[in-house]
Structure 1
Amino acid sequence: MNKPVNRHPFPGTPKRVGRVGAGRGFSAANSNTRISLPGRTLDVSAFAAPASHARPGNLGLNSDRLRAQMIQRLRNQGIQDERVLDAMMAVPRHVFVDEGLASRAYEDAALPIGQGQTISQPWVVARMISAMCENRVPVKVLEVGAGCGYQAAVLAQFVKEVHAVERIRGLYELARGHLRELKLQGRVRLSFGDGMLGLPNTAPFDAIVVAAAGIKIPQALLDQLAVGGRLIAPEGGAAQRLILIERTGPAAWHREELESVRFVPLRAGTQS
């Protein structure tokens, strides 16, 4: 049986509940971000940038052992959703990083993959997906910011229909190559476009994960969330928090504040 993640696995994490009104957001382009938790700071990122497509070949059989150690570390850090843990065990993270960093692929760290960008650290991926999918099995998920394709690959392990949008052409091509290499291109529908607009022709979605922070979460994304569905995204300017939103009716949303975070701003438009 799947175990739901504790929304507040760390002591002293405040939360605030309210309603989300209409507002404008931004679309996404990412770099390094940080999460502040009691006693530690976590570097995170949501979008990757183009890097060498050379495949790491120096891990061999050790990759399974290192992934198992990563999963145990995630459990120790409070991640309890077995679907997410199984999915992250199944996806070879070293495929998504540059060959020179393959030996560090299973560390709990955001790693550079070119042009000043990084792949998100495992804890952040697990935390956001677990909160978004808690006590439910989403059928159709939207990821805003495909980056190098890692998070989409994790989602595809247990979500029937994964849609991912990337606004930077080089990242879109990088993610497409990684997903093809792992034979996941048929399970992830990858689009090049402005993430702030979502995918209105494909909506509604059971869950949406957004990976960069606007002052307000884009109303277009809230509107594309199915009633009963959940969205998770960072929100704020100088002070940011992860926000978990559940759509409770045609014009009603319930919000909860999770950990303090530091993400780069969401940006509109596309970049060739």
Structure 2
Amino acid sequence: MSPDCTRKIARSTMIGLAAGLALLAISFVPRVADAAPQALALVATSSPIQLACAGDKCSAEFTTYCLQPERHAPVRGTNYFLTEKSRIALTAIDRNGKAIALSPHKDLRFQSLRSHSAVSISLAPGLVQRLGLKSVSLALANNITLTPEAEQGDDNPITADELALVETELRPVGNYVVDRNSTGMAAAHVTNRLVNYLPKVEDNAHATAEHWRGLMAQARDDGLSPDAAHLAQNAFDLCRFYANQSVQGDMRYCMQGQHDRLMKVLNSDYWKAVKTGS
């Protein structure tokens, strides 16, 4: 490959990365008002996602987006709750292979990770050790809504009437515009699965490549469109170049940025749809 071609690839790569990685910085913007942050849509999964367990903690990242553009985005670590109408199938197996019944509303914890684009879902502290759990997986149903934890002194909380409006009017719009999108959303699903596979510091690029090929093959078998496959593969290739040439081992961070870039476009489409319908 000629030096000019290499430089062009590098420039286009870093431009694409800048858009994705800049989104990660949003997570650290300080809260500007004493008002509740926006309710979030938690995107359904096409198949169960297994939580990664280490010690007494089991958690994984899941895709979200903003349902209320008039409210501010959550800062990293904002606690959220699953609304009463929302449904998650929670499967837990103990070390003896026995299925353990758990309540998604009581036994799961939800925290914002990167603005409104992703949340961490984990088991409540102490459950793994107390119940001797070996594996936990989640299957997310359609139209799940997360509402922020109420804080003392909040001068503009999300009221019951406001939340009812979000669930009955806004969430179905999001499901139609975002959740069911067969290109960007489908690509975001695949990137999110790789994010959950990758360690914080990648130490085996070959294993990552093999896992990615498996994810893409499964996604294609499940109906991934050529356009969605192109978006997903482009995200992976950009991050592979970045992790190899710029910041060694930073594949996970980069893929998070690419996931969030895809979700930003979809969230903008949702905001336009809501504004048009208002």
Indicate the TM-score class for this superposition, using the shorter chain for normalisation. Answer: under 0.3
Structure 1 or 2: more strand by fraction? 1
Q: What's the TM-score, normalizing by structure 2?
A: 0.27
Q: What's the TM-score, normalizing by structure 1?
A: 0.28
